[in-house]
Structure 1
Amino acid sequence: MSRAVYYASASLDGFDAAGLEPLGSEVPAPAGAVVMGAGTYARLRRQVEEEGTGAWDCPPAPVWVYTHHEFPGVEGADIMFVRGPVAEFAADIAASADGGDIWLRGADLAGQYLRHGLLDELRLTLHPVVLGAGQPVLPSAAGRSARLLAARPSADGSVLLSYGFG
């Protein structure tokens, strides 16, 4: 059964700190599918245009992009552009993941998944830094309880936290 997992990085004051570490600091389970919003896709597309197809940092899995915009695809990538509420495509995305994890890319999209009860796990690296401003790790997702699944400190003072929802 597929699980929707959001890998995120946060400051002590709860802001997205993705620039402080690459996703690779924790080796995620293999992705069965990747889901992202238009902003994340646009950023990745710019990287591909500037650096070539090697800059496409998604695994070889179906990629679903929630967008109201028209975007070109990425050569060699299996990309599906969709419009509508996240819950409308959840079953199709899970089917395309073929039992593998569904990786969520982008804080806004992860917040929508959480709000609709579709987020299964948050894998959060908490950094010992205060940013003072920025994008919240899970915007518009207030009122949801989580249970701690695991906590692991690292030598640099950051802590890897895993939370389950539901």
Structure 2
Amino acid sequence: MTTIYYTASSLDGFIADPEHSLSWLLTRDVDRAGPMGYDDFIAGVGALAMGASTYQWLLDNLEEEWPYEMPAWVFTHRDFPLASGDVRFTSADVRAVHAEMLQAAAGRTLWLVGGGDLAGQFADAGLLDELWVQYAPVTLAAGAPLLPRRLELRLEELAQNRDFACARYAVVG
């Protein structure tokens, strides 16, 4: 089973702008069924994790029901309303939650939705296997960093998906 941080980033390494907006991302042309696209990726996911800011963004911006069928862990110290899906709030160490996620995923991929610091915590614990990044043709100059850690990676795959340069990396250290 693989634990993957699958995300989009600006060319200068930010996953959200200083106002936590993704407007720079949501206006881009991408083929969800294209190379390294979301549709094939999500089809293999058995459980996911996200930080409080990502969960808040989803609550603020969803126009329909909770988008995930699989269990989702939200790492937070804040109180939030419960979304309509299988959402589990935690402030536990990523190692303990990773074990729960493995069991729930039943052999499928674990997806670290965001943010970068949460993915970094999994990396620090030796629990991050891959980083998939869809680079948007924009620079933001500031915001939430892609991965605020030093991490050694090995390039495994490159693709173009319309506006995006897509890269898949294995964590090597």
Q: Which interval holds the TM-score relative to the shorter structure? A: 0.7 to 0.9
Matched with 1:146 is 153
Higher share in strand = 2
Q: How does 1:22-33 map to 2 (within 5 A)?
A: 25=32, 26=37, 27=39, 28-30=41-43, 31-33=45-47
Q: Which amino acid aligns with 1:4?
A: T
How far did residue 12 of structure 1 move?
A: 2.1
Structure 2 match to 1:161: 167
Query: Structure 1 residues 85 and 70 mapped into 2: Cα distance closer, same or farther (>3 Å)?
Result: same
State the AA in 2 paired with 1:109. L
Q: Residue deviations 1:103-146, cap 9 Å, x none?
A: 1111221121122211111111123322212211112x21x211
Q: 2:31 touches 2:162 (CA, 8 Å); kept in 1?
A: no
**Distance change in 2, residues 1:100/1:134 (3 Å):** same
By relative contact order (CA 8 Å, sep 6+), the higher-ranking structure is 2
SS at match of 1:71: coil
RMSD value, Cα: 2.2
Within-5 A mapping of 1:1-166: 2-16=1-15, 19=23, 20-21=25-26, 25=32, 26=37, 27=39, 28-30=41-43, 31-48=45-62, 51=63, 54-58=64-68, 60-75=69-84, 77-106=85-114, 107-139=116-148, 141-142=149-150, 144-156=151-163, 158-166=164-172
How far did 1:79 drift?
1.5
Q: Match of 1:94, SS?
A: helix
Moved over 3 A (4+): 21-25
Give ranges in structure 1 of 5+ residues lacking alignment: none
Secondary structure of the equivalent of 1:16?
Answer: strand
Q: Give the length in aligned residue pairs.
A: 156
CA 1:72–1:127 in structure 2 vs 1: closer, same or farther (change >3 Å)?
A: closer
Matched letter for residue 108 of structure 1: D
Deviation at 1:55, TM superposition (A): 4.2
Pick closer, same or farther for the CA change 1:125–1:47 going to 2, 3 Å: closer
Q: 1:132 to 1:149 in 2, by over 3 A?
A: same
Question: How far, CA to CA, are the matches of 1:46 and 1:130 in structure 2?
Answer: 24
Distance 1:72 1:128 in 2: 35
- Amino acid across the alignment from 1:95: Q
Identity among equivalent pairs (%):
37
